[in-house]
Amino acid sequence: MRPPAIHESAPKSLSYLLEDQQTRTSIPYSGSSLVTEHGDYAEELELPAKRQPRIVRLFRHTLLNVYRRLFSTVFLANAVVLIVFTVKSSDIHHVNIWNLATAASANVFVGTAIRQDYVQNVLYFLAWLTPQSAPLRVRRVVAKLYENGGVHSGCGVAGTLWFLALTFILSVQFAEDIFTSQTVLIVTCILQALLLLIVVLAYPTFRTKYHNVFEVSHRFAGWTVIILFWVELGLLAHTVAQENHVTAAHVLVRQPSFWLLILITIHAILPWLFLRRWEFRAEGLTKHAVRLHFERNVGPCTGIAISKSPLLEWHPFATLPSLDATQKGGSIIVSRAGDWTKSAVEQPRSYYWVKGVPKPGVLGLSLIFKRVVIVTTGSGIGPCLSIIASPSRRTTCRILWTGPRPEQTFGSEIVQYVRRADPEAMIIDSKKEGRPDMVNLSYRLYVEAAAEAVFVISNPALTRKIVYSLESRGVPAFGPIWDS
């Protein structure tokens, strides 16, 4: 699975601002250049006014961004079906709990499947089929693909809601001596508690503050839930089989939840079948960053997750392809950002564990645009290199990179990668020149380059600020989200 072929030509003037006027967003331009002939910042290019009333912008770009729209759509659709199901089930004592189990397991299946590496690769491949000649408004929608995590979290919460209904009805039936298996009720309550724990610990605020706790609890509680689902299905099937004088297998194979649980189990196991120990060669860039080289071939525009302890924590990094056609493999850049990365920089290991298969990220969607601006800060240049240094890139890139002493921190070779992709790249040393107005610079570079979109890779606060500031002015802007 490969992105489309490279396109090398890069525009150098503003003459094509009038090009594709019917598909481009109309942006006023004052006539000022971004950089003077002396290489200094040019006079200010005034940002246009935000397009919609504040309350509309708040809902469209913040409270109801694409991720949350997907979440809301999935959750509300399930809520409506649950309400209809409840209304039609006038006699709660005779509700078929198998239907509730099917609804819960269907949501869990979709929620787990959407996160699988192979599913993500298929989705990105389909997105890459969108031609650059397609209307910009179409490509702008397609590029929101990376926010599909809303489906994952929406299905997770909806599945928990369905199982809550199952637990309630089973408890009522047990109290009325309609359902008599105390073991099934106990397993059901434990399952419900674990599902609620997973949902609570996945709340964005908690997940951000206690990420390691979230990751470990999500993994081990998830595995326990699957095991207990099997136990409960077996017990339910045994109970029903005794009442109807048939075998438990006869009952199970007729239940959709049984087949869905098989698929859920496969998806839980599948990434671990691709668990491998990769050899890495460390190249110290500075005391703040290290480059880890590997010899295994990976696809362009992809990333991998590495770990020292596979059962505990994983850290994703974008891969940088080797620019030497005679060499295999590629590399990743790790910069000091926390305890794990600090250890990796100071004491890099000769091997790390890699799970699953390499998959693209948000920057991979830049390939469906003709011209883009890539805005990044500090170590965010690592993921950007997976795109701008890729031999499969067909998109013209303009680059804005700010950070403390970029060349001293990441080395001259990394700067050369950036300059090779964009000879006019704006690389700002924030230690020497101070922190610039990133929103204004991003917009100005977008106008000068007559770009179709802006991609931002930075810390959560700055990424959200730039994306919101540009999108509220009609500029297609994209950046990672941290909600899922």
Between the CA atoms of 393, 397, 403 and 409, what dihedral angle is there, to the nearest 10 degrees? 40
d(CA 238, CA 259): 17
Q: What is the pLDDT of residue 230?
A: 95
Q: What is the pLDDT of residue 395?
A: 87
pLDDT digits (tens, 9 = 90+) for 305-361: 999 999 988 998 888 877 665 677 888 988 887 788 889 998 999 999 999 888 998
Q: What is the pLDDT of residue 199?
A: 93
pLDDT higher at 1 or 147: 147
The DSSP output letter for 360 is -
Q: Residue 234: in which H helix or E strand, if any?
A: helix 211-244
Identify the weakest region by mean pLDDT among 88-92, 222-226, 443-447: 88-92
The DSSP output letter for 61 is I
**What tokens appear for 245 in the block?**
């004088």
Between the CA atoms of 74, 76, 80 and 82, what dihedral angle is there, to the nearest 10 degrees? 70
The percent of the chain in helix, strand and coil, each rounded to the nearest 5, is 55, 15, 35
Q: What is the pLDDT of residue 387?
A: 83
- The arrangement of strands across the sheet holding 281-286 comes to 281-286, 289-294, 330-335, 320-321
Average pLDDT, the chain: 85
pLDDT at 186 over 90: yes
pLDDT at 9 over 90: no
- The arrangement of strands across the sheet holding 351-354 comes to 276-279, 351-354, 303-307, 315-318
Which among 371, 366, 362, 367 is positioned nearest to 445, based on CA atoms? 371
Name the pTM for this structure: 0.84
Identify the weakest region by mean pLDDT among 191-205, 256-270, 470-484: 470-484
**What tokens appear for 213 in the block?**
């706790």
Q: What number is the average pLDDT over the span 184-201?
A: 94
The DSSP output letter for 458 is S
pLDDT at 440 over 50: yes
pLDDT at 27 over 60: no
Q: What is the pLDDT of residue 389?
A: 76
Which among 153, 147, 164 is positioned nearest to 201, based on CA atoms? 153
Task: Name the band, by pLDDT with cuts 50, 70 and 90, for residue 441.
Answer: very high
The DSSP code sequence of 174-217 is HHTTSS--HHHHHHHHHHHHHHHHHHHHTSHHHHHHTHHHHHHH
Strand residues in 366-409 grouped as ranges (E): 371-377, 396-403
Residues of the chain with CATH 3.40.50.80: 15-52+362-478
- Beta strand 303-307 with 351-354 is antiparallel
Range 276-354: architecture per CATH? Beta Barrel (2.40)
Q: What is the pLDDT of residue 339?
A: 83
- Encoded amino acid at 119, one letter: V
The DSSP output letter for 63 is I
Q: What number is the average pLDDT over the span 43-61?
A: 83
Using DSSP, state whether 478 is helix, strand or coil.
Answer: strand
pLDDT digits (tens, 9 = 90+) for 348-391: 999 999 998 889 989 999 999 999 999 999 888 888 888 887 76
Task: Name the band, by pLDDT with cuts 50, 70 and 90, for residue 6.
Answer: very low
> What CATH number does the domain located at 15-52+362-478 have?
3.40.50.80
Q: What number is the average pLDDT over the span 428-443?
A: 90
Residue 281 pairs with which residues in a beta bridge? 293
pLDDT at 8 over 50: no
pLDDT at 198 over 90: yes
pLDDT at 450 over 90: yes
pLDDT at 223 over 50: yes
Q: What number is the average pLDDT over the span 253-259?
A: 94
Residues of the chain with CATH 2.40.30: 276-354
Q: What is the pLDDT of residue 4?
A: 52
Helix boundaries (H) for 245-388: 248-252, 256-273, 339-346, 381-388
pLDDT at 31 over 80: no
Residue 455 pairs with which residues in a beta bridge? 374, 478
